[in-house]
Amino acid sequence: GENVEQHPSTLSVQEGDSAVIKCTYSDSASNYFPWYKQELGKRPQLIIDIRSNVGEKKDQRIAVTLNKTAKHFSLHITETQPEDSAVYFCAASMGDSSYKLIFGSGTRLLVRP
C-alpha cells in the first residue's frame, strides 16, 4: 500500500540552530502535504502545508520544500527555540483527493537551551 517514510525519528539540536525533517511518499498522485506539531499531551496541530503546484512555502521560521520528481518533502525550522520541542508529523494525501492523509511515523525534536 501507499506509505510515507519520515526521518529522523529523533533530532536534538542546540537552541538557535536549524532543524530539518525529511519525508518521502510513494503515491505519485499525492498533491497535498501538511505538517503537524504535537506538543506533549496535546493534539496535533497543523503548522504549515504545501500543494503540489508549489515548490516551497515559508512562514516565519518554518519552511517546507517539495520535490515532486523525487517524491520528497522537507520541513525546515530556523533559529530553533525550546518551545519548538515537540513531535512533528508529515503527511501526504492519498491520490488526488486531499481529504485522506497518510502520516509519517513522527520525529521527536528536542531543542537544547
Binding site for another protein (CB under 8 A): 1, 6, 9, 32, 34, 36, 42-46, 49, 89, 98-106
Q: Which is nearer to another protein, 3 or 18 (CB)?
A: 3
Query: What separation in angstroms does the CA of 109 have from each of 5, 43, 88, 100, 101?
Result: 16, 16, 7, 26, 22
Q: Which is nearer to another protein, 63 or 102 (CB)?
A: 102
Q: How far is the CB of 47 from another protein (least distance, A)?
A: 10
> Is cis: bond before 113, omega within 30 of 0?
no
What DSSP state is assigned to residue 82?
Answer: G
Q: How far is the CB of 66 from another protein (least distance, A)?
A: 15
Q: How far is the CB of 15 from another protein (least distance, A)?
A: 26
Determine the Cα–Cα distance for residues 101 and 91; give it in Å rounded to an integer.
6
Q: How far is the CB of 74 from another protein (least distance, A)?
A: 17
Residue type, 54: V
